[in-house]
Amino acid sequence: MHWQTARRKLSLDRPLVMGILNVTPDSFSDGGKYASSDTALAHAEQMIADGVDIIDVGGESTRPGSSRIDADVEIGRVTPVIEEIVTRSEVPVSVDTTKSSVAAAAINAGAEIINDISGLRWDTGIADVAARTGAGLILMHSRGVFETMHSELPADDILVEVTAGLGRSIGVATEHGVSVEQVAIDVGIGFGKTFEQNLKLLAKLDQIAEEFEAYPLVVGTSRKSFISTILGGAAVDQRVGGSVATALIAVQKGAKIIRVHDVKGTVEVLKVLAALQ
């Protein structure tokens, strides 16, 4: 299997590790830590040294309780960092955004993947940007608007809800001219799901992967609150082991791309898995 981006075809013969680079002051795990260009680029270079396959740059926090920011502010945060990363490295860059203007600016700056947590529900223009540029497009399942996506009443049957939602997002992308080869999907663990539903999605990922076998499956469990619950209330920086464990499970269940904060540990555990296989 391959995944088409704006610049290349990425081989999915092995699972890819997507490193999270939040250039925001308020993200749940590392808010403010990489808000300056210097610290962001230093972190990107460390992820590259640790073996990252994709760097996902985000300029707007989507943690519970966060507020929307203006597109120009978001562009000002992400584009300088993207430009520097692509100048210094061949590692593909993704932009984590729900705004078509930000997506277009990021692609112009050198990004080749768009990661849309709304699955095209908030701005279908993102699909137009992807169709025009050939960018890879990650469609994530979420519910509600920006302000309510973490507080929506849980779906009765999470597998049915996620499957239907991803199907709708893929349909919108196709209608706007995005090719099958460009699309990847994300079940949206942690976004408006209960603790039990997050566990069920992780346990039943193979069913989602089978339902959407033409599309690479992206999973992002890194440091999320359900891991804290399992570990008895572990703080964000104490969830590394749990995060790596869920990454391993996700790959065994069919995930092709793992979105993480802790690149080195994830890369190492996947190397061990590959050796055993």
What is the DSSP secondary structure assignment for residue 238, as one 8-state letter? G
Asked whether the beta carbons of 80 and 93 are under 8 A apart, the reply is no
Q: What is the pairing mode between strands 217-219 and 113-116?
A: unpaired
Residue from 116, 48, 251, 12 nearest 21 by CA = 48
Q: What's the token pair of residue 143?
A: 């519910």
Which entry of 224, 239, 256, 264 is annotated as an active-site residue?
224
Residues making up the chain, counted from first to last:
277
The strand ranges marked E within the chain are 2-4, 9-11, 16-22, 54-58, 93-96, 113-116, 136-140, 183-186, 217-219, 257-260
How many of the other CB atoms lie within 10 Å of CB of 210? Answer: 9
Which entry of 223, 239, 259, 264 is annotated as an active-site residue?
259
239 is an active site residue: no
224 is an active site residue: yes
Catalytic residues: 224, 259
